[in-house]
């Protein structure tokens, strides 16, 4: 699957803000962690699933108190990477050996 999300802008107090949105390629991914292990694009549309495999504290971070190691599956391809948590961006790379939990 190759997916590039567009039209990721919002207007707030007369200013326009734009996000990069989700991008999925055979080798890398940028997406968002949604509730109930649902991986989403910027518009909260489901594009796959994920699970947190480990996490640790980040005491000096201004974004989140925890960082998470995440495995995500999109169209049968498993990616591994990091995220600051629910609603936050997930950046990952294709995993060479998918885990058994990775079901469509």
Band the pLDDT of 97: cuts 50, 70, 90: confident
Residue 44 CB: number of other CB atoms within 10 A? Answer: 11
Whole-model pTM: value is 0.81
Specify the number of domains making up the chain.
Answer: 1
Residue 48 lies in a domain: yes
Return the DSSP state at 27.
S
Residue 14 lies in a domain: yes
The separation between the first and the last C-alpha atoms of the chain, rounded to the nearest angstrom, is 13
Residue 104 lies in a domain: no
Residue 11 lies in a domain: yes
- Give the H or E element holding residue 80: strand 77-83
Residue 78: the pLDDT is 95
Domain span holding position 34? 3-94
Residue 57, strand partner residues: 66
Residue 101 lies in a domain: no
């Amino acid at each position: 699957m190759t997916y590039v999300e567009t039209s990721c802008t919002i207007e707030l107090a007369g200013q326009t803000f734009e996000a990069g949105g989700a991008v999925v390629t055979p080798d890398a991914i940028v997406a968002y962690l949604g509730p109930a292990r649902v991986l989403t694009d910027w518009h909260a549309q489901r594009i796959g699933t994920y699970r947190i495999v480990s996490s640790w504290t980040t005491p000096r971070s201004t974004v989140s108190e925890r960082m998470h190691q995440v495995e995500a599956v999109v169209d049968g391809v498993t990616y591994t990477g990091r995220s600051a948590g629910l609603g936050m961006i997930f950046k990952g790379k294709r995993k060479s050996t998918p885990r058994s939990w990775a079901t469509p």
